[in-house]
Structure 1
């Protein structure tokens, strides 16, 4: 009678093995991929922020009946298309896309100080733009003073909103950024792309490393708890590749570096803190079993089917359900507001 071999792999579930967990599973029906560190309930007040892919998550949470905070709702009577173009309803604050943890930290620090910095106002054709939200007023504003007044109100309202939040959902998008040499402040896009002008004496490129990203996530968590000591942090990584890289590398390894760094830092952050969770939206979209069907023809934008799969999996892990709507095969949602997509215009 042969002895039965017993070892740590003998009792693992099917999801622990590539053949059962990936190769023989339909990409849009992957199960058991996420076990939440904490549950989302109807009583939770949820705040959202991050890169443009995070816009999907906030929408899905609202559709599932959860309470998603909105510090700066659109004025009454404004058409939905117009309000989204001006940054209303994208996230829990009208802060536009926040691609890096460093950018999020500086926003929280600015809220604490209560003093917007007039140095960071960009101009274009005689109009003025908030350098940290350059795309939210497409035609620009009349003066630096108007930009500052609107930003002051923005900081006040976002601060009040964060004091109410039980869960902060943040989607990491990039490790690459441009910053001011004098102040160290990070911008959501390179000066000169949306507004302003690029000056190598004033602006520099930065590509955040794993230690920097992890340290920033730790700092982000501490600052959020300063607004509400019981606030939990839920992290995701955007599956959208870089539009372009200023790193000097080919855009493919530059993208892989960025996503691997963000994924590792987010995972380690969640592993080390009971009130921090990581949801694998990046892994679901890039799953080899999808054979690329979760990306549109440009191999960058995520298709409706990909978005639906991510959101259904996320909500199901919390015992919630996605609002059903038919997904168009191969179609990409076309209503996301993304500053970095403008870089495509400069490609040859």
Structure 2
């Protein structure tokens, strides 16, 4: 009979230790749900060379797979690929953040992001994919699965469940396509810790279970594919509702920070982790709002931080802190 540690108040998820890791030295991509954006924004803030969601937020595995294949194909959208809804032009393959009142503006935003994403996919060391839900929406008229419904009438869609086999097949094809243009590309899959309660709590658990099984199937059948347990950390280590936002569904900022730090521990190389900690101090100084921006004390602070940023840039040749140096030198 084992005796539990009386000072231990959590069941901890064992973190993977990836052999191939991301860092400042080579660009990488993140695609998928809004959790990918949450983590990606923290990496961008720390100046890592990461591109986040070139199609905007995408939740279901079929749309994620389709987006990857679109980047590999490199074909731009044309005007006929867009549709107008509620005064906005939209793409069923993209998030509403790309929508615009002017069709040409919408098309330009989409094609610029896709072109950048195609280049980034060819150059990336890793593609990190966050899957959100197994539930998807299929247009009745064409049978196409959409990444976003854009408030089109529900009668236009069939709600479908993407089972494990379908997800594995689609994502396998997407990985193969990505590696046809970038043979050394490593893949990290994770499942979003955000519960989709509008699907129903039972349906959400079924959905997440299917995604987790798909991820582990891909890890076992493909080389260079790994899994990071975002969902499991939220459900087991952070199961208390104090780690949730006011809607009791989304992880709080604290919870995202905790999962982010665990991701960094598993997936970022040691030299980059050291640099991230130093970059964070520079970025915090930039974000600081002074009481008196014209005072001698603040000017002295800025001169000190500019010198530190310049020294840090010399220490790590892969860092570009020119924006921060200019900010402190004004």
Q: TM-score, normalised by structure 1?
A: 0.69
Q: Distance in 1 between matches of 2:117 and 2:39?
A: 19
In structure 1, what is the equivalent of residue 157 of structure 2?
A: 203
Residue 304 of structure 2 corresponds to residue 304 of structure 1: no
Paired residue secondary structure (1:103): helix
Paired residue secondary structure (2:64): helix
Q: Which residue of 56, 68, 85 maps to 2:38?
A: 56
In structure 2, what is the equivalent of residue 160 of structure 1?
A: 119
Q: Distance in 2 between matches of 1:211 and 1:172?
A: 15
Residue 209 of structure 2 corresponds to residue 260 of structure 1: yes
Q: What stretches of structure 1 of length at least 5 have no aligned partner?
A: 1-16, 70-90, 246-250, 326-348
Q: Which residue of 30, 55, 58 maps to 1:98?
A: 58
Displacement after TM superposition at 1:161 (Å) = 1.8
Q: How does 1:271-282 map to 2 (within 5 A)?
A: 271-282=220-231
Q: How does 1:1-348 map to 2 (within 5 A)?
A: 25-27=8-10, 30=12, 32-63=14-45, 66-69=48-51, 91=52, 93=54, 95-111=55-71, 112=73, 114-116=75-77, 118-137=79-98, 140-143=100-103, 145-192=104-151, 197-198=152-153, 200=155, 202-245=156-199, 251-287=200-236, 290-317=239-266, 318=268, 319=270, 320=273
Cα contact 1:174–1:259 (8 A) shared by 2: yes
Q: More helix by proportion, 1 or 2?
A: 2
Q: Distance in 2 between matches of 1:274 and 1:19?
A: 38
Displacement after TM superposition at 1:177 (Å) = 1.2
Displacement after TM superposition at 1:37 (Å) = 4.5
Could you report, residue by residue, the CA deviation over 1:56-85 in whole angstroms, capped at 9, with x for unpaired residues?
Answer: 22133335553214xxxxxxxxxxxxxxxx
Deviates further, 212-221 or 291-300: 291-300
Could you report, residue by residue, the CA deviation over 1:20-58 in whole angstroms, capped at 9, with x for unpaired residues?
Answer: 7xx96444x947422224222332311111100111221
Q: TM-score, normalised by structure 2?
A: 0.72
Which aligned segments of 4 or more residues in structure 1 are displaced greater than 6 angstroms?
A: none
Displacement after TM superposition at 1:137 (Å) = 4.4
* Alignment root-mean-square deviation, CA: 3.0
User: Measured at CA, do residues 160 and 236 of structure 1 come closer, stay the same or move farther in structure 2, by a change above 3 Å?
Assistant: same
Cα contact 1:54–1:171 (8 A) shared by 2: yes
Q: What stretches of structure 2 of length at least 5 have no aligned partner?
A: 282-330
Cα contact 2:134–2:163 (8 A) shared by 1: yes
Q: Distance in 2 between matches of 1:254 and 1:36?
A: 32
Paired residue secondary structure (2:242): coil
Cα contact 2:98–2:106 (8 A) shared by 1: no
Cα contact 2:32–2:53 (8 A) shared by 1: no
Cα contact 2:167–2:214 (8 A) shared by 1: yes
Displacement after TM superposition at 1:315 (Å) = 1.0
**Alignment size in residue pairs:** 272
In structure 1, what is the equivalent of residue 311 of structure 2?
A: none
User: Measured at CA, do residues 218 and 19 of structure 1 come closer, stay the same or move farther in structure 2, by a change above 3 Å?
Assistant: farther
Q: Distance in 2 between matches of 1:32 and 1:182?
A: 46
Cα contact 1:177–1:190 (8 A) shared by 2: no
Could you report, residue by residue, the CA deviation over 1:84-112 in whole angstroms, capped at 9, with x for unpaired residues?
Answer: xxxxxxx252x110112211222233341
Q: Distance in 1 between matches of 2:256 and 2:122?
A: 30
